[in-house]
Amino acid sequence: MTARSHLGAIRLVVVGYALAYLLVRAPHLISYRDRPAGDFDPVGLVALVLDGPLGSTAVVLLVLAAVIAAVPALVGWRWRVTGPIFAVLLTWVLTYRNSWGVVLHTENLMVLQVIVLALSPAAAAWAIDRQVAPAIEERARWAIRALAVATVLTYVVAGIAKLRNGGWDWVTGDVLRSQVAHDNLRKHLLGDPHSPVGGWLAGVAWLWPPLAAISQVVELGAPVALISRRLGLIWSGVAWAFHVAILGLMAILFPYQLLGVAFAPFLPLGQWLERAQARWRRAGVRAQPPMSDPDTPQPSRMGSSAARSDSAVTSRP
């Protein structure tokens, strides 16, 4: 598997997920056209450009533009142009949504990886018009490395934040247990989806320090994934199981991680696509009718008709 094949496969997975995310969330993103102006508190890129909210039409058009831009970026058409355009539009749309008082962090890794892809030769493979440039294989390797570092850093930052907010009590005390109990109780009282399992396990005091320690090992130990391909695969599996546990204990869904997209730099996606393509080609060959030997003379339709006529003539009395 070449680096450019791997990078092209990552583009398909990451941009494909981003497109699906925008389509599902489009009604919610468009709904911010009707929010009270007093609730607007710009952050990030939006804070550099706006002092007040956009008009209703502009909000709708920007969301639609992000969806439309995702399509050519997904298939790798004119990637040097469509990739950066999609990255800017995606960053803007999601940052604008976060500028209304509630800053969500579940999308940050997706946006960051789209930006890295936009600056890389991500259309060197699995694209409509593939990029051809000198040393593209080396550039693809660096891009994959940058994508992997982005994934790792999000976990390290999360681990550091836990220690800064809860101190070592996060590992040795009841910080995690209290957080899980409070989160489930609040959701239950508000009628939101919650985890009965997490609420029940909150009564088992001895269980939570080991779980808290495991969470810190997964997050602060994420850099081991950069050492080798095998360690990257192992850590990705452990981190995925970590998110399954979060879903089971707190009913908090991280779809980007649970679908495995966050771990795309560590997975042999290009190799999987190449194998699937080879199987499809073999299946196509088997489905074709057998070709006749070109060296074997074939009777023409006229010859066959003449033979039948001669036979009919000779058989008459």
- Using a pLDDT cut of 70, give the percent of the chain over it: 90
Lowest mean pLDDT among 39-48, 246-255, 260-269, 303-312: 303-312
**Most confident of the following: 45-49, 130-134, 151-155, 282-286:** 151-155
Mean pLDDT of 285-293: 54
Placement of tokens 């042999």 in the chain: 268
Residue 288, pLDDT score: 56
Using alpha carbons only, give the angle 107, 233, 142 rounded to the nearest 5 degrees.
70
pLDDT tens profile 137-163: 999 999 999 999 999 999 999 999 988
Residue 215, pLDDT score: 92
Asked if the model's pLDDT at residue 315 lies above 50, the reply is no
Cα(219)–Cα(223) distance, integer angstroms: 9
Residue 302, pLDDT score: 43
pLDDT tens profile 109-126: 999 999 999 999 999 999
Cα(204)–Cα(199) distance, integer angstroms: 10
Task: Single out the residue of 154, 158, 75 nearest to residue 113, CA to CA.
Answer: 154
Residue 290, pLDDT score: 53
- Kindly compute the dihedral angle of the four CA atoms of residues 190, 193, 197, 201, in this order, to the nearest 10 degrees: -40
Q: Are 89 and 65 in contact (CB under 8 A)?
A: yes
The structure's pTM equals 0.85
Lowest mean pLDDT among 175-184, 231-240, 301-310: 301-310
Residue 79, pLDDT score: 95
| DSSP H stretches of helix in 76-135 | 79-97, 108-118
Residue 316, pLDDT score: 36
Q: Are 284 and 233 in contact (CB under 8 A)?
A: no
Cα(134)–Cα(174) distance, integer angstroms: 56
How far is CA 113 from its chain centroid? 9
Task: Single out the residue of 155, 33, 142, 13 nearest to residue 96, CA to CA.
Answer: 33
Alpha-carbon separation of residue 211 from 234, 239, 247, 307 (angstroms): 19, 13, 14, 87
Cα(276)–Cα(1) distance, integer angstroms: 13
Placement of tokens 């450019």 in the chain: 4
Mean pLDDT of 74-83: 95
Cα(221)–Cα(158) distance, integer angstroms: 11
Asked if the model's pLDDT at residue 287 lies above 50, the reply is yes
Q: Mean of the per-residue pLDDT values for the chain?
A: 87
* Residue 70 CB-half CA count within 13 A: 24
- Using a pLDDT cut of 90, give the percent of the chain over it: 61
Q: Are 235 and 168 in contact (CB under 8 A)?
A: no
Mean pLDDT of 266-280: 89
